[in-house]
Structure 1
Amino acid sequence: MIPELTDTALDWRPLRASDLEPLAELIEAAEHLDDTAERHDLGQLRRTFVESATDPAEHAVVGWEGDSAIVYGWNHPRFENGRARVALAGVVHPGWRYDKLGRAIFAWQLSRAHAWYYSEGRDAGLSLEAYSDDHLGSRRRLYERNGFTPTRWLSDLHRDLTELDRLPDAVPPPVTLVPFRTELSEQVRLVHHAAFAHQWGAGPIPPEEWERSLRREAARPEWSWVALAGPQVVGYALNSLAPGGGRDGYAEGWTDRIGVHPDWRGSGIARALLRRSLDSFAEAGLDGAGLGADSTEQRLTLYESLGYRPSDTVIQYGRDAVSPRRARHTGS
């Protein structure tokens, strides 16, 4: 029995690989009722479990009634930009939401996040983050009662491809657009860092993590594009098949990452990369296109001018749980 959860009527145990199928059923039921922007399937859960940098059995717990998963909490800890960060994920089955299980599992997650931080023995400071669709008032209130505040608004945008006008790509010379090639990957990674160096929470992506993202099952390098100025990469659009692509008869291409080097912004490169991506999606026979944008400070004019329309907004909540001791000592 897990001490923090002894007051509930469920059986609790750490997450195991054999639990992923009933966990997927729980998540599917909750996401269907909540009409969430992001959906997770069994394949995604298995990949997250296998690729986790930390042992899920130490950072995830599931509450059971018999063979049915009723509630889960899963912490995803990492060090980023010299600071410890933990993303908190979890959900309660729709039929059990009046038993205060959400509060209980969230309390366990907060306790576990602090225990992990102190076990690492690094004076890095601890930041917590959690996510909620903007229409899920009860989840947002849970976060706010625990000291979390909104930090970012993330919008999903979509467009249909049935009436895609073919337009020329207007890029300034000497810029050219070329299909993504493996030998350009490291240059693209470095331009990505330059493009997002000042964005909230951004940090360097290690080469192995970058390459792993390009090799994942949904990735589609053949739909991706790079902007070159001579031999130098100055922009990129990395695309994939959206989660659940092809289910229910609708397949959507997704732009995972798009960026332009700061020295080349304002030249129409991002627009041209998106245009070429839309053409790739259409040529592959897809029905639609989508992408996610940080709408906290960024205007969506570029995307809307290409036919994308906002559909869902996810709010990132954050809380600085522990300050570095050196910062407290210096008064900074």
Structure 2
Amino acid sequence: MTVRPAEIADAPAIRDLINVVDLVDTGEGGYAVDEVEGDLRRAGDLARDSWLAYDGDRLVAYAVLWPASASGRLDVDHYVLRDAVSAGSLLLDLLTARAAEIAAATGVEAADLHLALTPESVLAVHALPVRGWRAVRRHHVLTRPVSPSDDAEPALPADVTIRVATSPDDQETAYRLVQETFAGHFGFEPTSYDEWRKRMDADHRDWTLTWIASRGSTDVGVLIGHNDREATGWVQNLGTVAAARGGGIATALLRTSFVEFAARGRSAVGLGVDTENAHNALHFYTGLGFQLQFAADTWRLVVPAP
């Protein structure tokens, strides 16, 4: 076995690995090269915060660390083939050691690692519990079919307009709305605008898939989507300010995205929802035709700085 850092040029091989793993764990493998490239660009230091494990010439495991907050939160992405658990375990140990280094370098007491995996993942079954990781939250990934014939432009609530967030000012407005509407949600970490743009891979993002809803002259809702997967459009963030909830704004934003994704040839739209969401989001999405595709657990490990 050999291990080395990932490079942007490795994206096609990483995409293939992710899709093989996802096909087994979730029943669908739809990752695209552009999405992997965006994931790699989000790393703080790609040469030190990413790992590829090879069995001979065969890529069998991949992991990357993403900075998520100034307080020590680090998000983890990790994929491993089912016949290569030892390689996946090795990468877990390497990224844990690296997380401790990052904590020490940034002056925080500990690194707080978060990793999302399906319950059937070989890492979840065989590697995480024995290393002290704990499953702390469950999310559902939901999908809904879309088509030009079935999805029409929505009728907007009174005094509500929706615009595409292509201008720099609107991109910053989208940031502010995400910070406001997701405050208090599980796993959300407030960030500066510059940090948020890096995490969103903003310089390479298609901003025509971000919409802002306004009621009168006040911006009250945002939907941030991306079209990087092979067949499914993705809703990354959907939020409405507290004073505007229950007025049909989130529904209008979603239906706007359905029309656009269908026009771009997508056959479905997907999103993730916290099963313990305080606003009953799961019921809201199923009422719009979304159905469960698979569950994913958030695993957590706190790594003290040396």
TM-score w.r.t. structure 1 length?
Answer: 0.77
Deviation at 1:235, TM superposition (A): 0.9
Deviations 1:249-289 (A, max 9, x none): xxx33222211111211222112222232233344454322
Q: Please name the residue that 1:76 is paired with.
A: 65
Distance 2:99 2:55 in 1: 26
Q: 2:94 aligns with which of 103, 108, 132?
A: 108
**Structure of larger gyration radius:** 1
Q: 2:80 aligns with which of 81, 86, 92?
A: 92
Higher relative contact order (CA 8 A, sep 6+): 2
Q: Which runs of 5+ in 1 are unaligned?
A: 1-9, 246-251, 326-332
Aligned partners of 1:220 and 1:241 also within 8 Å:
no
Distance 1:265 1:196 in 2: 13
Distance 1:281 1:27 in 2: 23
Deviation at 1:103, TM superposition (A): 2.8
Aligned partners of 2:151 and 2:258 also within 8 Å:
no
Deviations 1:143-189 (A, max 9, x none): 22222222222222212224626485352x43333444524332232
Alignment of 1:117-132 (within 5 A): 117-118=103-104, 120-132=105-117
Alpha-carbon RMSD across the aligned residues, in angstroms, is 3.1
1:243 maps to a residue whose letter is R
Deviation at 1:115, TM superposition (A): 2.5
Cα 1:45–1:287 shift into 2, 3 Å: closer
Cα 1:318–1:193 shift into 2, 3 Å: same
Q: Please name the residue that 1:249 is paired with.
A: none
TM-score w.r.t. structure 2 length?
Answer: 0.82
Deviation at 1:224, TM superposition (A): 4.0
**Is 1:232 matched with 2:218?**
yes
Q: Which runs of 5+ in 2 are unaligned?
A: none
Deviations 1:193-215 (A, max 9, x none): 11111112323343335556485
Cα 1:59–1:237 shift into 2, 3 Å: closer
Cα 1:319–1:95 shift into 2, 3 Å: closer
Q: What is the SS of the residue equivalent to 1:296? A: coil
Q: Please name the residue that 1:277 is paired with.
A: 257
Aligned partners of 1:36 and 1:133 also within 8 Å:
no
Q: Please name the residue that 2:183 is paired with.
A: 197
Distance 1:286 1:19 in 2: 26
Alignment of 1:1-332 (within 5 A): 10-16=1-7, 19-35=10-26, 39-49=30-40, 51-72=41-62, 74-78=63-67, 80=69, 82-97=70-85, 100-118=86-104, 120-136=105-121, 139-162=124-147, 164=150, 166=152, 169=155, 171=157, 173-182=158-167, 183-211=169-197, 213=200, 215=202, 219=206, 221=208, 223-245=209-231, 252-298=232-278, 299=280, 300-322=282-304
